[in-house]
Amino acid sequence: MSIIVTGGAGFIGSCIVRALNDRGLEDIIIVDHIAETDKWMNLRNKKYVKYINRDAFLEQLPKYSGRVSHVIHMGACSATTEKNFDFLYKNNLEYTQTLWNFCVENQICFLYASSAATYGDGAQGFDDRTDISQLRPLNGYGYSKQLFDLWVEKQVLKPKQHVGFKFFNVYGPNEYFKGSMASVIFHSFNKITETGEMGLFKSYHNKYADGGQLRDFVYVKDICKVILFMMDHPEINGLFNLGTGKARSFYDLATATFRAMKLEPKIKYIDMPETLRPKYQYFTEAVMDKLRSVGYQEAFTSLEEGASDYVCNYLAKGYEVY
């Protein structure tokens, strides 16, 4: 039985393909929209049977009835700055609904990416046991993910398994082609390499020092471990946070990057653009009790360990692909 991985040439998707390969699984169909990007480079060390363009895939979907065990849906427009909501609605909601219905009809396991962006400004907290109808995302991307999460709650017919993941701030190898949406560690490494220093935003909140804004940074290899855990436990269903459960500051992140590069930290504080200040989030931290309650016991990689592995084994080696 084949495994379909949408977004399989992208950041998280290609890392999942690597994790599947490491398990000896090679009957993988990769769906993505590579076009003129260099995402194909993420596939050079992967084993899979076929690549299908995202736009052509839905037409071909019926012929895979009875031939697929899992659909791992990581494909989406993940740009929080995307302004074309019609595109987000079609790509992030309707496309995902079509895959869900295919999995229902064929009783296939469906694992998919939601997002911590659904939590909006965090006024309702970051607990995946909260009533999601109370959440108010701050951008079109987060809202498009929220719409699917809400739609799932109303479905009477469900796939063999359905698990959604609210990813927090994911970083790690294979994110090299995400441009401005790549992680702060990726941009920090490049900035430090170029100038020897790193700039962090000043704080405009009296509770937080400059560079002291907090995020839940989660290493992509931990994401892969959770995906594999869910594949091993088809009895588990639901919507789960996927962070570390421990918020860390951008100062900690920058310092960890300098240390991994064997350099003394040289950090300067820069003005935050005025347009960003009113909606800026100063704190995100995943509540991880729900994932733990279904039996996931693995420890999450610390920021220092993750930065060291990422910098030393991937970024410093010419953007080595995982």
Asked if 221 and 171 count as a contact pair (C-beta separation under 8 A), the reply is no
**Residue 202: partners with Cβ closer than 8 Å, 6 or more residues away:** 210, 269, 270, 271, 272
**Residue 159: partners with Cβ closer than 8 Å, 6 or more residues away:** 100, 103, 104, 107, 108, 109, 110
Direct distance between the N- and C-terminal alpha carbons of the chain, in angstroms, rounded to an integer? 25
Q: Is 27 exposed, middle or buried (0-12, 13-18, 19+ CB in 10 A)?
A: middle
HSE at residue 211, side-chain half, CA atoms within 13 A, is 16
Give the Cα separation of 157 and 206 in Å (integer): 49
Torsions phi, psi of 124, nearest 5?
Answer: -95, 5
Q: Is 276 exposed, middle or buried (0-12, 13-18, 19+ CB in 10 A)?
A: exposed
Given the residues 95, 112, 119, 141, the one annotated as active site:
141
Is there a catalytic annotation at residue 64? no
Is there a catalytic annotation at residue 46? no
- As given in the structure block, the two tokens for residue 164 are 């959604």
Given the residues 160, 178, 191, 202, the one annotated as active site:
178
Annotated active-site positions, please? 141, 178
